[in-house]
Amino acid sequence: MSLPFTIGFQPRRGREITEIVLQNKDRIREVYFAWGDFSSGRGRLKSEAEQQATEDALAKFSEAKIGLDLLLNAECFGGESLARKLYIKIGDTVDDLQQRFGLTAVTTASPVVAKFLKNNFTDLQVRASVNMGIGDLSSLAYMAPYFDSFCLKREYNLDFEKLQAARNWCNDHGKHMVMLANSGCLNECPARHFHDSLVAHEEEIAGEDNAFGFGGICRDFLAGQDGAEKFFRHTNFVRPEDLKLYENYFDMIKLATRTNPDPVQVIKAYLTGNFRGSLPALLEPDHSGVLYPLILENSMLPAEFGANRKAVDWSKYCVIDIQKRKKS
């Protein structure tokens, strides 16, 4: 059994992504996308050209019977979070996308948005965003009335006991589970909500006379001599080669490809279950630049890596020091 994928649409690479999705529609079940001026977990569409590229792609995906998932997963909608006008806009947008493209799902981090959708669009799958950090049985139970499926907390990727408990609960309650496979975020990052809030308000922030920039704490944390070891110990990604370990736990694999510099490379790696190259380059965010001159060569990791992630300092297996090689 091979799990199906949901992948993120990146308008700047729209043609390439559309092509690979259509070529692999037997494996890629769904495409998720930002729309209009709605904030999402990775920003919003930046121009009319990006909007048009998205519309063109959705038409092709719809014709090919590929599922479509609208992102309403911003960490914050600001002062409009409970405003009537926001929900009128959401309702009008979902109705329009259903009629034009056959929208099948919405991912959100707001229980209020989820409840609104459940009450008004009974044929739509409502999915809890990974940004909600849902995974333990209590959090699943709290959110059960609002969501049909859950993109599980990133950190659970490395805990098979917790995954089994969540899988059992979802089976008992008729819910689906999705795994975000290629997150480059740090485990239990205390700055994640702050960072996601900045992304949700990026246009407002860009209009201010800002004293500081903020790109996350991960870059500073991973910089330095022990960066490669920290990368393995404090992240939660699943390699393409290790997806087979998760086939009994999840219903679908989510790939983060909306901001990755080479989304097609990511999609191909996970479709084939094999990758030769810089492991961080498959992730979002991509930490290759922070770790340089160290290259973490994915193909040098042994087969037992995925099942024993916490047991060993895996950096000893796969680090290539470019500067030392140049000197030699």
pTM of structure: 0.96
How large is the average pLDDT for residues 308-328? 84
Percent of the chain at pLDDT above 70? Answer: 98
**Segment 114-143, tens digit of pLDDT:** 999 999 999 999 999 999 999 999 999 999
Residue 323 pLDDT > 80: no
pLDDT of residue 326: 64
C-alpha closest to that of 6 among 192, 246, 177, 154: 177
How large is the average pLDDT for residues 99-125? 98
Alpha carbon 297 to its chain centroid, in Å, reads: 23
Q: Which amino acid is at 103?
A: L
Residue 185 pLDDT > 60: yes
Residue 303 pLDDT > 90: yes
Q: Which string of DSSP letters, residue by residue, matches 141-210?
A: HHHTTT-SEEE--GGGGG-HHHHHHHHHHHHHHT-EEEEE--B-PBTT-TTHHHHHHHHHTHHHHHTS--
pLDDT of residue 44: 85
Query: Residues 284, 183: contact at Cβ < 8 Å?
Result: yes
Mean pLDDT of the chain: 95
Sort 304 into a burial class: Cβ within 10 Å, 0-12 / 13-18 / 19+. exposed
User: What is the helix (H) or strand (E) element at residue 116, kind and residue range?
Assistant: helix 111-120
Residue 54 structure tokens: 């998205």
**Segment 215-238, tens digit of pLDDT:** 899 999 999 889 999 999 999 999
Report all structural domains of the chain as residue ranges with CATH numbers, in order of start. 5-327 (3.20.20.60)
Residue 289 structure tokens: 């630049």
Query: Residues 21, 28: contact at Cβ < 8 Å?
Result: yes
Q: Which residues of 41-73 are buried (b: 16+ CB within 10 A; e: fewer)?
A: bbebbeeeebbebbeebbeebbeeebbbbbbbb
